Amino acid sequence: MNRELFSDEAEHALLGAMLLDGELLDAITSQVSVADFHDLENAALFRAMTELHSAGSPVDPVTLHEFMPALPSGAVTLAYSGELARNTPSIANWKAYAKVVTERAVLRRLVDAADAVRELATENRPVAEIIANAQQAMADLRDLQTGEPDYKRMDEVVTRNIDIIDSKFNGALQSGLSTGLVDLDKLIRGLRKKTVTIVAGLPGSGKTTLGLQIAQHIACGGSGVGMVFSLEMPEEELGNRTLASIGGIDLRKLDDGQLQDDDWPRLTSAVSKILDKPLFVCDKSGLTVARIRSIARQVQRVQGLDVVVIDYIGLIGSEGKACNRASELGKISTGIVNIAKELEVPVILLAQLNRESTKRPGKKPIASDLRESGQIEADAHCIILVHRDNESEEGQNGVTELIMPKCRHAPIGSCLVQQQGQFARFVNFTGNRGPSTEEVEMGRGFASKYKPSNQSRSAER
């Protein structure tokens, strides 16, 4: 590689400036990433400095040595970092050093992108595919060089808000996307951009059904583009669930192919409603937050994007070492929040609950039942807990309570929906709200008011 594509001197000087003046760490780490360093030693040292600073520890040769005694090459961290600090020309020039480091990193990526396009061209692939890959690579590089500041004046924000408020007042803009369920829309006041809504439940409660149904309602109803990441369920099963939900066809018949005469028109109708609609799926397992972000950005560039559903957080892959799974899930949760803000779309993130709720009177879950990570609860803008007591008569008949213990733009509350398990969908609840769980346990007369006719009691995830 030509020397013009990297600068050891600039990398050394930038790291030295960080060692000499801790006040520069926030400014530098907001502009420079680990991937911007060409030299592996420098990249490893920068990562260690960033992690130390994030933990609230001072950053100097001694603390770095305690944190990471040796660099990837085996060199002693104390000696290497001490030499960098001694040889730094001037901390006042850190912006110039940072600019050189980031610009050379962009050049290297540009060369890599060109090499990748050249390799595609020699593989006898369609020209359209080669052009699409080249455009994707260029778009990624443009993102690195936006030149936009990381902050805004409050009066700019307020002025934009006034325009939005006026549009809502005049009916030209809704507060958020509809879920397709009337009472749920009233509860959460719409799915809003840049927010993460956690939909959590025990296995078999219907959280996957709810997440997929919301995405298909938005995409097939003409409200926007939906992207579903299914890290557990294969795309074929997602497809059958969508057909069952939209067509009102028993999912078991789709699975075994034993359709009746009256099922075929429903199937044809479902296909026509899905055809050419902007609903996209990815069923790759073990996706990391970075990969989810990359795929979502691809969809957004090509198709647009209005909602993302991820099923579920416990299956998102780790990107590095963590002390424990709870800590790793906390990082993943924060990463998903960043994706929602960056792409400016609502993200519905599915999660599992532990079984503590089953030990309580009434068996209703609470937000702290989110499995393995309190950080998930803290990061979420809105939390929806899907609760159906399968031991009760109403639960066996599909009546499901959606409990909202947290929402930053609406008061907490709950609503009832009717799960139609055989159709892999929820519908609006048409019975009475009824008494509390405790009252239901005392007298089961409430069940007769909403007992559905000819509906399966099977539970879907």
CB-CB contact of 197 with 349 (8 Å): yes
Domain assignment of residue 162, yes or no = no
Do 121 and 202 fall into the same domain? no
- Expressed as residue numbers, the domain containing 401 is 182-449
CATH classification of the domain holding 7: 1.10.860.10
Q: Which of 90-99, 247-256, 272-281 has the lowest mean pLDDT?
A: 247-256
Domain count, the chain: 2
Domain assignment of residue 276, yes or no = yes
Strand 307-311 vs strand 347-352: parallel, antiparallel, or unpaired? parallel
CATH classification of the domain holding 288: 3.40.50.300
Do 310 and 244 fall into the same domain? yes
Tokens representing 264? 């075929």
Give me the pLDDT at residue 258, please: 82
Do 371 and 240 fall into the same domain? yes
Mean pLDDT score of the chain = 81
Q: Which whole number is the average pLDDT over 307-311?
A: 92
Do 84 and 133 fall into the same domain? yes
pLDDT-above-90 percentage for the chain: 12
Q: Which of 30-34, 72-76, 444-448 has the lowest mean pLDDT?
A: 444-448
Domain assignment of residue 262, yes or no = yes
Strand 382-387 vs strand 399-407: parallel, antiparallel, or unpaired? antiparallel
Question: What is the tens place of the pLDDT at every residue in 234-268?
Answer: 888 888 888 888 888 888 888 888 888 888 888 88
Residue 460 pLDDT grade (very low, low, confident, very high; cuts 50, 70, 90): very low
Q: What residues contact 250, with CB distance under 8 A and at least 6 apart? A: 244, 263, 422, 423, 456
Q: What residues contact 136, with CB distance under 8 A and at least 6 apart? A: 298, 301
Do 105 and 252 fall into the same domain? no
CB-CB contact of 352 with 202 (8 Å): yes
pTM: 0.62
Do 132 and 217 fall into the same domain? no
Q: Which whole number is the average pLDDT over 180-190?
A: 88
Question: What is the tens place of the pLDDT at every residue in 119-175?
Answer: 777 777 677 667 766 666 665 565 555 445 556 677 777 777 777 677 766 766 566
What's the CA gap between 62 and 227, in Å, rounded? 47
Q: Say which residue, 72 or 159, is predicted with more confidence.
A: 72
Tokens representing 285? 């397992």
Do 320 and 366 fall into the same domain? yes
Tokens representing 261? 């005469």
Do 214 and 348 fall into the same domain? yes
pLDDT at residue 437 tops 50: no
Domain assignment of residue 334, yes or no = yes
Domain assignment of residue 130, yes or no = yes
pLDDT at residue 414 tops 70: yes
Q: Which of 86, 117, 144 marks a domain boundary?
A: 144
Domain assignment of residue 168, yes or no = no
Give me the pLDDT at residue 448, please: 43
Give me the pLDDT at residue 39, please: 87
pLDDT at residue 272 tops 70: yes
Residue 199 pLDDT grade (very low, low, confident, very high; cuts 50, 70, 90): very high
Question: Edge to edge, what strands does the sheet with 196-201 contain?
Answer: 279-282, 226-230, 307-311, 347-352, 196-201, 382-387, 399-407, 413-420, 425-428
What's the CA gap between 226 and 216, in Å, rounded? 7
Do 196 and 279 fall into the same domain? yes
Domain assignment of residue 96, yes or no = yes
Give me the pLDDT at residue 450, please: 46
Domain assignment of residue 211, yes or no = yes
Q: Which whole number is the average pLDDT over 183-205?
A: 88
Give me the pLDDT at residue 22, please: 84
Do 228 and 79 fall into the same domain? no
Do 198 and 123 fall into the same domain? no
Question: What is the tens place of the pLDDT at every residue in 204-239?
Answer: 888 889 999 999 999 888 888 999 998 888 888 888
Q: Which of 144, 170, 197 marks a domain boundary?
A: 144
Residue 309 pLDDT grade (very low, low, confident, very high; cuts 50, 70, 90): very high
Q: Which whole number is the average pLDDT over 299-321?
A: 83
pLDDT at residue 453 tops 60: no
Do 119 and 254 fall into the same domain? no
Q: Which of 110-114, 243-247, 318-322, 421-425 has the lowest mean pLDDT?
A: 318-322
